[in-house]
Structure 1
Amino acid sequence: MGDIAVTTPPKPAMRPARPEFSSGPCAKRPGWAPENLQNAVLGRSHRSKLGKARLKEAIDRTRELLQVPEDYLIGIVPGSDTGAMEMAMWSLLGARPVQLLAFESFGKDWVTDVTKQLKVEAEVLSAPYGQLPDLAKVRKDADLVFTWNGTTSGVRVPDAAFIAADREGLAICDATSAAFAQDLDWAKLDVATFSWQKALGGEAGHGMLILGPRAVARLESHTPPWPLPKLFRLTKAGKLNAEIFEGSTINTPSMLCVEDYLDALRWAASIGGLAELRRRADANLAVLEAWAQKTPWVAFLAEDPSIRSNTSVCLKVIDPRVTSLPEDAQADFAKKLAAALEKEDVAYDVAGYRDAPPGLRIWCGATVDASDLEALTPWLDWAFQTTADQLQTA
C-alpha cells in the first residue's frame, strides 16, 4: 500500500489555551499561579497553632463546598484517595458480608484488596468497561464497596437509589472523580473518599476520608481480625481518634499542598460553589457530546448517557480501519493518537488508562474551561485523520 498518496490534513487554527486534560493530577484552576501559595505555612510544624488552623480550614471549607452534613466527620489522611479507601476498608470491614461493584480498574483494585489481602469472602458484582453491574443485586444486609465514578471507564452510577435507606451494612464509596462534579447523596453514604489531585486540580499525596455516624459506630464496636498499620488506625483504646478530624493528621502533610488545596477551595466558593462546579463539568461534557454526535470515527465508552461521567470522559475509536486491527494494534493506534496531540501541545496525557479498552480519556471537570474543549475537538479530528492515514502507508 506504499504507493497510495496521502495528503497531510491542515492543522486547526486555534489551540486550547490550557492543554492540561489529564485525569489526575488534573488541570489547575483557571488563573492559578505559584504566587497564590505565598501564605503557605512553610518551615513550621503542621502541629503548630498556625499549621493546625490551616488544616482545619481545609476541612471546614471542604464541608461547606460539598455540603457535607454536620454529623459527618472529615479527615485529611495520607496516600491520596487510595490511602483513604484502604484505611476505610482495613478499619471497617469484617463485621458483615461484603459486596463490591467492579466496573473499572480501581473498583477491581478494591476487589483484590478485600479478597486477596484482607481475605474477606465477598460477592463481586462486575461489568465490562462502559457498563454498570446490576445494581438491583445490591443487598442491604451487606457492606458495599464501590466507586461512584469510574475514572478509567467514564461510567458513573446515576444516583444512590440502589442503596437502601434502611441498610444494615455500610456504604463505602470511592468518590475521587465524582466529588465536586456530581451529586453525592450523603444520606446514602457512610464513607466517602477522594483526593485533592482530582476534581479541583490539587496536588497529589493527600486523601480525604469522610465518615458518617454509622461508620463511626462500626469503628467503635468492631475490632478487625487483622493487624492495622499505624497509618490506618482511626481509634484509640476502642474509641474514635477525633483529633484526626480536627486537623491533627496521622503523619506529616505537605503544608504547601494544603495551601494549594485551600486556593482551589476558595476559587470554587468564589465562582458559585458546588452548583457552579457541577454546571461547568456538565457544560464541558456537553462540548464533547455535541462533537461526538457528528463525528463518525469516535464514540463514548459509556454508551448510555445516563451513566456517562462528566469528569473522566472516555472515548473509543469505532472507525473500521482501526477496529479491524488486532487488539494490540488498536492499542498502538490509540497511543499514537494521544502522542500526536501531545506533540502539538494541544492535549497532554489523554491516552486511555492502561487497563481500559484502547482510546482517549479527556478530563472535563470544573477546572477545565469549555472554550479549551471547543478548541480541542478540531485537533482530535486532525490527529485521527493524520494517524489513520499512516495506516495506509504502513
Structure 2
Amino acid sequence: MSQKPSTRPADPRFSSGPTKKRPGWELAALSGAPLGRTHRGGIPKARLAEAIERTGAMLEIPDDYRVIITPASDTGAMEGAMWSLLGARGVDVFSCDEFGRRWLIDARDELKLSDLRLFEAPFGVAPDYDEADFSRDVIFTWNATSSGVRIPDGDWIPANREGLTLCDATSAAFAMNLPWDKLDVTTFSWQKCMGGEAQHGIAVLSPRARKRLAEHKPAWPVPRILQWFEAAAEDSKMFEGSTINTPSLLATEDYIDSLKWAMREGGLEGLVARTDANFEALADWVESCDWIDYLTADPATRSHTSITLKFSGKALEGKSEEERWAVSRKMAALLDREEAAFDVAPHPKAPAGLRIWCGPTVDTDDVRALGPWLDWAYHEAISELV
C-alpha cells in the first residue's frame, strides 16, 4: 500500500456543481433572509433587486443590458431563452459536452426548428466556431462543464451580426472575462462559480435580444415558466426583481452574501485571478504526474474552472473504458472516505478520469494539497482493480 499524504485540503469540496461555498461561509450569513414573506413587495423584493444590481456591477455588464432572475437554474434560463426567442431566423447550435447537447436536443427534437445546423464535437474538443453563420442565431457554451473545454475569446463573433448569440456561461460567469458586446443572451446559475444554493438562473439580455422579444412571437406554445416577453418593455418589473415563479429568499440571501464577498476579493478581476491561480496550482501537479493528462489537449481551449482529466501512462494501457471507470469510481470513493476530496469523478457520460473544480470560491492552498492525495488514491485503486 502507498503512504497517505500527511496534509489534507482544509476544505475537500471540489464538486463541479453545486460548488464549494465562499471561504469563511457559515449559516449565520443567511440570518437576515426575509423568510415567510411574499416576494412581491417590501424587503423581499428589494433583496431580489439588490441581487440583480450587484450582479450587473460585479460582472461589469453594459448599462443598456438588463439582468433577470429565472426559474430552474441555468437550465431554465437557457431553455427560457430558446423557447422565447428562437424561430425568427435559422439557428446554428455548437455542442461539445453533455449540457451543450441538451440545447441541441431542445432545438432539434422539442422546438423542431426547420432551419437548423448542428455542430457537435466529442468530449475534450472544441467545435469549429469558424463555421458559424451570424446571419442566423448562434447557440454555444462558453465553458463546457462536463468536458473541460472553453472558448478563449469572442474574436470569432462579429460586432455587426444580424442574428442573436445565445451563450450558456454557467461555469464561466464570475471566473472568466466575457465579451458582453458579442453576447445577446447570456445565462448562468449562482450555484456554479459563486457557490450558491441551487434553484435560480440568471439571464443577461442585450438591447438586440429585447428587441427580438418585442417583435417576434414564436410559432410554438411557450409554457408560462419559460416566457420572457415581459422583458421587452423598458420599464419591465423583471429588471427590478419580479420573477416568473416564487423565488427562494433563502437562496437569494445566500447569493447576495457571495456577491458581497466577491467585492471584498477585488470584484471580477479578483475572482478571475483566484480561478487562474487555482488552475495553475493544479497544472503544476498534472505536469509532474505520469498517469494523468488533460482531456482537452489544446491549452487555448482548456477550462480553468472545470478541469477535466483523463488517465494516461502504462498502468491502464490497453484497458477497457469500463475498467478505467472502475479506477475513477474507486478513487472517488477512497478520497471521499478520507475526506480529502469530494465529488471528483467525471460526469457520467464523460471519459474515465477525474474532474476537479477550480473556480473562485476554492482556495489555492487546497488545490496544492489535493495533488498528493490524487496520487495516493490512484495507486491504491490500480493495486486493487487492475
* Length-normalised TM-score, structure 2: 0.98
Structure 1 partner of 2:331: 337
Structure 1 partner of 2:87: 94
Pick aligned residue for 1:107 from 100, 107, 118: 100
Q: Deviations for 1:241-267, whole angstroms, at most 9, x for unmatched residues? A: 811121011111010000000000000
Pick aligned residue for 1:146 from 129, 136, 140: 140
- Please tell me whether the aligned partners of residues 81 and 228 of structure 2 are also in contact (alpha carbons under 8 angstroms): no
Task: State which drifts further: 109-118 or 129-138.
Answer: 129-138
Question: Gaps (5+ residues) in structure 2?
Answer: none
Aligned equivalents of 2:99, 2:47: Cα separation in 1: 31
Matching of residue 118 in structure 1 with residue 82 in structure 2: no
Structure 2 partner of 1:211: 205
Instruction: Classify the secondary structure of the residue corresponding to 1:99.
Output: strand
Structure 1 partner of 2:256: 262
Aligned equivalents of 1:84, 1:272: Cα separation in 2: 27
Change (3 A) 1:240 1:222: farther
Structure 2 partner of 1:173: 167
Instruction: Classify the secondary structure of the residue corresponding to 2:316.
Output: helix
Shift of 1:230: 0.9
Q: Deviations for 1:343-390, whole angstroms, at most 9, x for unmatched residues? A: 111110111001111111110000000000111100000001111111
- Please tell me whether the aligned partners of residues 312 and 364 of structure 1 are also in contact (alpha carbons under 8 angstroms): yes
Whichever residue aligns with residue 260 of structure 1, its letter is D
Pick aligned residue for 1:32 from 18, 25, 31: 25
Structure 1 partner of 2:64: 71
Q: How many residues align?
A: 385
Whichever residue aligns with residue 90 of structure 2, its letter is P
Whichever residue aligns with residue 24 of structure 2, its letter is G
Shift of 1:159: 0.5
Shift of 1:48: 2.1
- Please tell me whether the aligned partners of residues 219 and 239 of structure 1 are also in contact (alpha carbons under 8 angstroms): no
Aligned equivalents of 1:267, 1:73: Cα separation in 2: 23
Aligned equivalents of 1:236, 1:348: Cα separation in 2: 41
Aligned equivalents of 1:237, 1:359: Cα separation in 2: 43
Aligned equivalents of 1:170, 1:340: Cα separation in 2: 46
Change (3 A) 1:207 1:64: same
Question: Gaps (5+ residues) in structure 1?
Answer: 1-7
Shift of 1:156: 0.2
Aligned equivalents of 2:10, 2:81: Cα separation in 1: 39
Whichever residue aligns with residue 203 of structure 2, its letter is L
- Please tell me whether the aligned partners of residues 220 and 240 of structure 1 are also in contact (alpha carbons under 8 angstroms): no
Pick aligned residue for 2:188 from 180, 190, 194: 194
Calculate the aligned-residue CA RMSD, in Å.
1.3
Shift of 1:239: 5.2
Same amino acid, percent of matched pairs = 50
Runs of at least 4 residues off by over 6 Å: none
- Please tell me whether the aligned partners of residues 95 and 222 of structure 1 are also in contact (alpha carbons under 8 angstroms): yes
Shift of 1:236: 5.0
Aligned equivalents of 1:77, 1:388: Cα separation in 2: 45
Aligned equivalents of 1:240, 1:61: Cα separation in 2: 20
Shift of 1:328: 1.4
Aligned equivalents of 1:140, 1:94: Cα separation in 2: 15
Aligned equivalents of 2:225, 2:237: Cα separation in 1: 14
Q: Deviations for 1:264-284, whole angstroms, at most 9, x for unmatched residues? A: 000000110000100000000
Q: 1:281-320 maps to which residues of 2 (within 5 A)?
A: 281-320=275-314
Q: Deviations for 1:305-340, whole angstroms, at most 9, x for unmatched residues? A: 111111101011113322411121111221111111
Pick aligned residue for 2:371 from 364, 369, 377: 377
Aligned equivalents of 1:323, 1:331: Cα separation in 2: 13
- Please tell me whether the aligned partners of residues 79 and 205 of structure 1 are also in contact (alpha carbons under 8 angstroms): yes
Matching of residue 248 in structure 1 with residue 245 in structure 2: no
Whichever residue aligns with residue 142 of structure 2, its letter is W
Structure 2 partner of 1:4: none
- Please tell me whether the aligned partners of residues 210 and 232 of structure 2 are also in contact (alpha carbons under 8 angstroms): no
Aligned equivalents of 1:107, 1:241: Cα separation in 2: 33
Instruction: Classify the secondary structure of the residue corresponding to 1:74.
Output: strand
Shift of 1:219: 0.6
Q: 1:225-236 maps to which residues of 2 (within 5 A)?
A: 225-236=219-230
Q: Deviations for 1:78-101, whole angstroms, at most 9, x for unmatched residues? A: 000000000000000011010011
- Please tell me whether the aligned partners of residues 219 and 240 of structure 1 are also in contact (alpha carbons under 8 angstroms): no
Task: State which drifts further: 377-386 or 321-330.
Answer: 321-330
Aligned equivalents of 1:131, 1:20: Cα separation in 2: 27
